[in-house]
Copies of this chain bind each other. A is one copy, B any other.
Amino acid sequence: VIDAVPPAPASASGFGGSPHFTSVAQLDLPTVERIFSVADYLQPIARRQWTTRVLEGAVLANLFFEASTRTRLSFGAAFSRLGGSIIDTTGFTFSSMAKGESIADTSRVISGYADAIVVRHPDEGSVAQFAEATNVPVVNGGDGAGEHPTQALLDAYTIQREFGRLGKGIDGSRIAVLGDLRYGRTVHSLLRLLSLYRGLSFALFSPAGLELPASVAEHARAHGHRVESVASIADALAGADVVYTTRIQKERIPEGQAVELSPDWQLRRELLDAHSPADVIVLHPLPRDAREGAYDLSTDLDGDPRLAIFRQTDNGVAVRMAVFTELLGVSHLVADTLRPAAWSTPSPLRPDDPAL
């Protein structure tokens, strides 16, 4: 049986006092820890051992004005697991917007339909605009080159859980970050979020032209962390507790910007074995590019316990559930509606998922 949800620390700010969750800038450390403890609490539901109906009767508007099937399905699964219903849109255009409707009008109209709203939009800042026009909780599902705050939360949550298993904490750890650090917005959000912790060291390795924006590095340094660009993957891996790999976001690189890429930059087992501590964990926000000549993360680590990418995506459901129950103020009510699942969930989910 699941215990009662832990009480929130008195110092937690909720989401910075906002009804919405659009940016990691809204978070303080007590709030992050609260969300993580709620996510831990909800794991048996996310893993389908238990069910809850706490949001029975509630409706989520899952509005994707840009294609992102994986993120849309993850939010949808999270809300469904809480007992709620989904209405959604998946097209590149919202037909009303095509007829000249403002974001503010769309937001207010949807607020009459739904109890929570997830918005993904290709334009930076548009989700914040959407949120300004409503008091119904809006969650940023990614806004162009802007933010993707639930991805940052689930990445940090995964680090915490993996470290917990290994007997470590986040403070003082060393994080290698590889790949497209310029257009990979998940890296920006993650660095801002991890900056809430203490004494981290970030080792960056990226192709020329895809370096981390100076503002992001400055933010981390201003919070007392070490941020250094290194000359090789080997240098990045040395001493790393976490290797965060990313896909080259070719679709976001402006036309005309030449970026020299090399398959040598792909993280492979051989590199990890040669340069990293034995208990390193490897993350990736996914999708991982599996095509020949890809630059991010080889499949030769599949089944290796160091590869945490599938645990990471699984954690997304629990974290998004926690964001919903916190925004809607129902975390403490989950326990009242718990029932064991009638079906049994296979373990492991993938034949070669390692038992940990």
Tell yes or no: A67 within 8 A of B by CB. yes
Is the beta-carbon distance between A290 and B56 smaller than 8 angstroms?
no
| Partner-binding segment picked from A132-140, A184-192, A209-217 | A132-140
Tell yes or no: A165 within 8 A of B by CB. no
Contacts of A316 in B (CB 8 A): 112
- Who on chain B is nearest to A286 by CB? B109
CA distance A298 to B343 in the complex (A): 44
Tell yes or no: A59 within 8 A of B by CB. yes
Is the beta-carbon distance between A101 and B287 smaller than 8 angstroms?
yes
Is the beta-carbon distance between A111 and B77 smaller than 8 angstroms?
no
Contacts of A329 in B (CB 8 A): 343-344
Is the beta-carbon distance between A310 and B348 smaller than 8 angstroms?
no
Tell yes or no: A129 within 8 A of B by CB. no
Tell yes or no: A73 within 8 A of B by CB. yes
Per-residue interface assignment for chain A, residues 32 to 56, with 1 indicating a CB less than 8 Å from any chain B CB and 0 otherwise: 0000000000000000100111111
**Whole-angstrom distance from the CB of A347 to the nearest CB of chain B?**
8
CB pairs A–B below 8 angstroms (23 shown): A48-B115, A54-B342, A57-B339, A59-B77, A59-B80, A61-B73, A69-B95, A72-B87, A73-B113, A77-B113, A77-B114, A80-B85, A80-B87, A90-B90, A100-B289, A104-B299, A108-B310, A108-B353, A109-B313, A112-B313, A112-B317, A330-B342, A330-B343
- Who on chain B is nearest to A310 by CB? B108
Q: Select one of B57, B68, B83, B349 contacting A108, CB under 8 A.
A: B349
CA distance A110 to B286 in the complex (A): 12
Is the beta-carbon distance between A290 and B134 smaller than 8 angstroms?
no
Is the beta-carbon distance between B290 and A105 smaller than 8 angstroms?
yes
Given A48-B58, A105-B288, A135-B349, also A96-B112 (CB < 8 A): no
Tell yes or no: A70 within 8 A of B by CB. yes
Is the beta-carbon distance between B19 and A346 smaller than 8 angstroms?
yes
Tell yes or no: A345 within 8 A of B by CB. yes
